[in-house]
Amino acid sequence: MSEQKRKRGGRRARQTSEADNPPPVIPYITRTIPEYELLGEEGLTLIEKNADLILSETGIDFHYAPAIELFREAGADISGDRVRFPAGMCRKIIRDSAPALFEQKARNPARNVLIGGRHTVFAPVYGPPFIRDLDKGRRYATIEDFRNIVKLTYQLPALHHSGGTVCEPTDLPVNKRHFDMVYSHIKYSDKPFMGSVTHPDRAEDTVAMCKILFGEQFVDDNTVVVNLINANSPMTYDETMLGAAQVYARNNQASIISPFILAGAMSPVTATGTLTQILAEAMAGIAFTQLVRRGAPVIFGTFASSISMQSGAPTFGTPEPSLVLNGAASLARRLGVPFRSGGSLCGSKVPDAQAAYESANTLLPTVTAGVNFVLHAAGWLEGGLASSYEKLIMDADQLGMMQTFAQGFDLSENGQAMDAIREVGPGVHFLGCQHTQNNFKTAFYRSSIADNNSFEQWQSEGSQDAVQRANVIWKKMLAEYTPPPIDQATDEALNEFMAKRKAEFADSNY
């Protein structure tokens, strides 16, 4: 053991500082554990048949003339903004051209992610207008908070993706903040990121910035940005989201077509009914992207939680959303497209036990269902109203555990450890045996935040809870942050583009 300690001291001594080394690269998870399937063939077929009935009988509203035209040409039955699809039409369009798997390129190629198949990509929280930390409590988020979350996400190896609106920079005008958000992802991280969807023009700006970063031809040929397109459930898509989806599909960039559902309000009060509606909505939206451009990368998304039938408030980490996410993952696999859902969702206002139970009850089903792209994987608090510095750190530790869990059993000779059992025998401990010595450095997931010390030691160190420990960790990380290098000419070109565009129209807050 003393030999080991010396070695570790030596290695540490050779590093002038932790900050000089870029964060370790584990670009994404490749699961070797099987998917957990709660619905059998019979249930899945029934839901698919019912979803087809919704598409053909009830139909979906597309409040966007170009979408109506595309669907009319493709043979749908149009009545105003209502589109009804002949049986099997959406499924056929999707199966004919949507890729089952695609790669999103990062500016650091070592961080490219594979989306689909047995792969799982974790991205941070998306969308909150508020931010919370232990020192300053809850407040409106600013661009400084946004940059901080991007920097922390860059440093956390269990997060594979820089995400998108990690919090709303509310100190910037609504119609211009997308520039600063996209730029922050590019500048302060080298992980793949998401683009703006709040207006087709902002989607165009995102694509333009990607072209400056990656080159025009590269963007035509590759997926460099993934974008969150929510359906306006029930059974409605609005103009803004469809306009943005159209821009991205046309440019060969990826959309996550996500029914956003609080079951009981935007869908029926049953898990089966909710799942059926999700499938119908998602198929219609995904089909739209394929009509815009055959083969455009697209992800079957769903954000489904339920509401309290007493107060109407959204609830998270409860059993029904867990069922829905599992079933939707199975349906996406049968459709043959990558799937997005889950995360570390919770309704709690603070990163307490409620937050953790609810997050774990969302995250573990996310991994076992085989979700491919996981938004809100870390940092989500208060039903998505607040991003949390401490919860980002705590959740990321959980994501690291999922990475280990997803590898399943090691059935190699070393994994079987029969030599160790033979060597040690009854009544003796395994701490000193050769097999333990050979494996102890990599054995068992090592939590960055859990306190497993004795009660007395924990007490002597100030009786800190998990949030207090997380608070120390994120501050240390920000203090040690070093940005990934970026080509100076590219950086200048991005800043020039933003300055020029920002000057072209007045600030506004819508």
Residues from 215 through 254 that contact a copy of itself (CB under 8 A)? 232, 234-236
Residue 170 interacts with a copy of itself (CB under 8 A): yes or no: no
> Does residue 212 contact residue 490 with C-beta atoms inside 8 Å?
yes
Q: Give least dist CB 252 to a copy of itself, A.
A: 30
**Residue 264 binds a copy of itself, judged by CB under 8 A:** yes
Q: How far is CA 432 from CA 436, 437, 453, in A?
A: 7, 7, 21
**Residue 9 in the binding site for a copy of itself (CB under 8 A):** no
Distances (CA, A) of 351 to 215, 363, 471: 42, 15, 11
User: Is residue 43 near a copy of itself by the rule CB under 8 A?
Assistant: yes
Q: Where are the beta strands (DSSP E) in 351-394?
A: 373-374, 380-381, 386-388
Specify the stretch interacting with a copy of itself by CB under 8 A; choose among 116-124, 196-204, 332-340, 349-357.
349-357
Q: Which of residues 133-162 bind a copy of itself (CB under 8 A)?
A: 138
User: Binding a copy of itself by CB under 8 A: which of 39, 141, 247, 377?
Assistant: 39
Least distance CB 309 / a copy of itself (angstroms): 5
Give, in order, the Cα–Cα distances in Å from 226 to each of 37, 50, 89, 132, 160.
27, 30, 26, 26, 13
Residue 79 within binding range of a copy of itself, rule CB under 8 A: no
In the complex, what is the shortest distance from the CB of residue 305 to a copy of itself, in angstroms, rounded to a whole number? 10
Task: Respond yes or no on whether the N-terminal peptide bond of residue 234 is cis (omega within 30° of 0).
Answer: yes
Minimum CB separation of residue 429 from a copy of itself in Å reads 5
**Cα–Cα–Cα angle for 112, 115, 119, nearest 5°?**
95
436 is a contact residue toward a copy of itself (CB under 8 A): yes
Q: For residue 380, with 0-12 CB atoms within 10 Å meaning exposed, 13-18 middle and 19 or more buried, which class applies?
A: buried
Select from 58, 97, 448, 490 the one that contacts a copy of itself (CB under 8 A).
Answer: 58
> With binding defined as CB under 8 A, does residue 273 bind a copy of itself?
yes
Q: Which of 151, 177, 185, 435 binds a copy of itself (CB under 8 A)?
A: 435
510 is a site residue for a copy of itself (CB under 8 A): no
Smallest gap from residue 304 Cβ to a copy of itself (A): 12
Minimum CB–partner distance for residue 370 and a copy of itself (Å): 12
The phi, psi pair for 443, rounded to 5°, reads -75, 135
# chain residues binding a copy of itself, by CB under 8 A:
127
Q: Which of 250, 349, 475, 502 binds a copy of itself (CB under 8 A)?
A: 349
Span of 11-19, 240-248, 430-438, 488-496 interacting with a copy of itself by CB under 8 A: 430-438
Applying CB under 8 A, which part among 174-182, 205-213, 289-297, 462-470 lies near a copy of itself? 462-470
DSSP classification of residue 128: -
Q: What gap in Å lies between CA 100 and CA 295, rounded to an integer? A: 10
Query: Which element (helix H / strand E) includes 173?
Result: none
Both structure tokens of 108 = 């650091």
Is 110 a binding residue for a copy of itself by CB under 8 A? The answer is: no
Structure tokens at 423: 């060597």
Name which of residues 361 to 380 contact a copy of itself (CB under 8 A): 361, 364-365, 368
Question: For residue 265, what are the CA distances in angstroms to 151, 234, 261, 312?
Answer: 37, 9, 8, 8
Letter string b/e over residues 459-479, b meaning 16 or more CB atoms within 10 A of that residue's CB:
eeeeeeebbebbbebbeebee
Among residues 21, 30, 453, 460, the one that binds a copy of itself under rule CB under 8 A? 453
**416: which 2 tokens?**
């079987």
Q: Which residues 327-346 are close enough to bind a copy of itself by CB under 8 A? A: 327
Only segment of 108-116, 289-297, 438-446, 489-497 that touches a copy of itself (CB under 8 A): 438-446
| In the complex, least distance from residue 477 CB atom to a copy of itself, rounded to whole angstroms | 18
Between CA 171 and CA 140 the distance in angstroms is 8
User: What is the rounded CA–CA span in Å between residue 85 and residue 61?
Assistant: 11
Stretch that binds a copy of itself, among 100-108, 157-165, 465-473, 489-497 (CB under 8 A): 465-473
Contact between 408 and a copy of itself per CB under 8 A = yes
165 near a copy of itself, rule: CB under 8 A:
no
What whole-number distance in Å separates Cα of residue 388 and Cα of residue 181?
18
Which amino acid is residue 419, in one-letter code? Answer: D
Contact between 424 and a copy of itself by CB under 8 A: the answer reads yes
Q: What sign for the dihedral angle of Cα 117, 406, 362, 25?
A: negative
Report the residue from 278, 467, 473, 494 that binds a copy of itself according to the rule CB under 8 A: 467
The least CB distance from residue 32 to a copy of itself, in Å, is 10
Q: Does 87 bind a copy of itself (CB under 8 A)?
A: no
The single residue among 322, 366, 372, 471 that binds a copy of itself, judged by CB under 8 A, is 322
How far apart are the C-alpha atoms of 157 and 321, rounded to whole Å?
Answer: 28
